Structure 1
Amino acid sequence: MGNKIYSPHLSTARDARAIRTREALRAAMLELLESKPLEQISIRDIVAAAGIGYTTFFRHHPTKEALLDELAAEEIRRLVDLTLPVMDAGSEMAASIAVCAYVDERRALWTTLLTGGAAAALREEFLRIAQDLATVRSQPGDWPPVEVATRLLVGGTIELLAWWLRQPEPLPGSEIARIHHDIVILPVLRGRASVGRLAPPAIEVAAKKRGRR
C-alpha cells in the first residue's frame, strides 16, 4: 500500500488563506497609515503592500473605508482587552495610563480613526463592546443606569483622545491620562458611589412596576 499524503479539507485551506489575506491587508493599511493619510492611500497601494492581487481585495472589502472600519473594531477590542484587567484590579488611574500609552504608540492610526472617516464606526464599536461588558457586570438597581454611565465614559474617552490627537503640540500621554482619570472616569464612579450604586427609591418602584406588567 502506498504512503498516504495528507491533504487538508479544501474549505479549511481556503479559510486559512482568507485569514492570511485579511491579516496582510490590515498590516498593509497600518503600514501605509504611518506615512500618509487615508485620503492619499489607494486600493492599489494597499494590495501592493500586502502582496496580493487587485481583485482579491474586493473579495474581502468593498472599499478601503470598510477595511478601516474593520481595523477600528480590532483596535477597540485590543484596547478593552488591555484595560479591563487593570480596571478589575481597582486601579482606574493605571487604566487611564494604559489607554493613553496604547493610543500614543499607534498615534498615526488612531489619528486617522478618530479624526477621519472611521470616527463614527470606532465610537459605535467602542460603545457596543463597553455596553456588552457593562451589562454582564451590572447589578439590579444600579444607578445611574448602566447605559448612561457607559455612554458618558465612552463619549468622554473618545472626545478627549480626539482632541489630544488634533493638537499641533500634543500634551504628554501622562497628562492626558490624568485628565481622563479626573474628568472622565472619576465623576461617573463618584456618582455611582454617592448613591451606593442603587437607584433612588422612586426609580426602583417604577422599575418594579414595569417588570410586573
Structure 2
Amino acid sequence: MDGKLTGFRKDAPTDARQVRSRKALNATMLALLEQRPFDQITIRAIAGHAGIGYATFFRHYPTKEALLGDVASDEIANLLAMTIPVLRDADSFESTLALCRYVEQHRALWSALLAGGAAAIVRNEFIRQARGLVGQVETPVTWLPADLGVVHGTGATFDLLAWWLGHAPEMAPDAVAPLLHRLIIAPLIGDRSAVTASALAG
C-alpha cells in the first residue's frame, strides 16, 4: 500500500447499475483481504471477482487505494456506531471489549487499514468521523475539552490497535481490551469500575 488513500467517501452513484457495481467492488475488496495481503490484490482481480469489466473499475475508482479508502470509511463508521452508544452506559469496559472483538472478526481488513502504508490517512479519517460524534457521549470528566478528548482517545485507540495487529497478533481480543480500557478509555470518561482490575488480574 503506498499511502494514496485519497477520496474517502466518493460521491455516491445514483444509477442503479452503478450502485450495484460499487457495492460489488466494496464486497470484493473485503473478501479478497480475507485471502491475501493488500499489496497482492490487483485491480484486474478485483474487477474479475466483482463481475465487472476492467475498464469499468476506473469509472468508480482511480486506484485500488481509493477503493480501500471507501471501504475504510464504511468500516470506521460501523466500528464507531457500534461502540459510541455503549459508552453511555456505566460500564465502558463492555464497549472496549466489543470494539476489540469486532476488529478481530475483521482482522484482515483492519490489518490492512491500521498497519499498511496508508495508516496515517486512515487514522485521520478515524478521528474525523469520531469528532462528528462528540455530542453523542456525555462524560463526567469536566477538565477535558470534549473535542480534545475525542482526538486523543481515537488517535490513541488507533495506535494501540495498530500495535496489536502489527506486533502482537497472537494476543486475543479479551487480552487487548483491558489494556485499551485501562490506558485510554477509562481515564477519558472517568470510569473507575472494578471490571478493569479484575480483567487484568484474570
Whether the 8 Å contact between 2:127 and 2:154 is mirrored in structure 1 is yes
Tell me if 1:54 matches 2:54.
yes
Q: Which whole-Å deviations, capped at 9, do the CAs of 1:147-178 have from their partners, x for residues lacking one?
A: 21111111111011001101355211011111
Farther-moved stretch of structure 1 (113-122 vs 39-48): 113-122
Aligned pairs (5 A) from 1:117-196 = 117-135=117-135, 142-167=142-167, 169-190=169-190
Q: TM-score, normalised by structure 2?
A: 0.81
Mapping for residues 26-41 of structure 1, pairs under 5 Å? 26-41=26-41
Q: Which amino acid aligns with 1:170?
A: E
Q: How many Å separate the matches in 2 of 1:176 and 1:36? A: 24
Residue type matched to 2:102 in 1? Answer: Y
SS state at 1:91 partner: coil
Long gaps (5+) in structure 1:
1-12, 192-213
Deviates more, 1:114-123 or 1:15-24: 114-123
| Separation of aligned partners in 1, 2:114 and 2:125 | 12
Letter in structure 1 aligned against 2:112: T
Counterpart check, 1:97 vs 2:97: yes
Residues 164 and 176 in structure 1, CA contact (< 8 A), matched pair in contact too: yes
Q: SS in structure 1 opposite 2:35? A: coil
Cα separation, partners in 2 of 1:136 and 1:14, compared to 1, 3 Å: closer
Q: Which amino acid aligns with 2:26?
A: R
Aligned-residue sequence identity (percent) comes to 44
Report the TM-score, using the length of structure 1 for normalisation.
0.77
Runs of 4+ residues deviating >4 angstroms: 135-139
Distance in 1 (CA, whole Å) between partners of 2:119 and 2:14 is 32
More relative contact order in 1 or in 2 (CA 8 Å, sep 6+)? 2
Count matched residues.
Answer: 178
CA RMSD of aligned residues (A): 2.2
Partner of 2:16: 16
AA of the residue aligned to 1:65: E
CA contact (8 A) 1:69 1:121 kept: no
Question: Residues 28, 157 of structure 1: CA spacing in aligned structure 2 closer, same or farther, 3 A cutoff?
Answer: same
Question: What is the SS of the residue equivalent to 2:170?
Answer: coil
- Deviation, 1:124, is 1.6
Quickly say closer, same or farther: Cα 1:123–1:40, change in 2 above 3 A: same
Give the equivalent residue in structure 1 for 2:79: 79
The amino acid that maps onto 1:17 is R
In 1, the alpha carbon distance for the partners of 2:173 and 2:136 equals 31
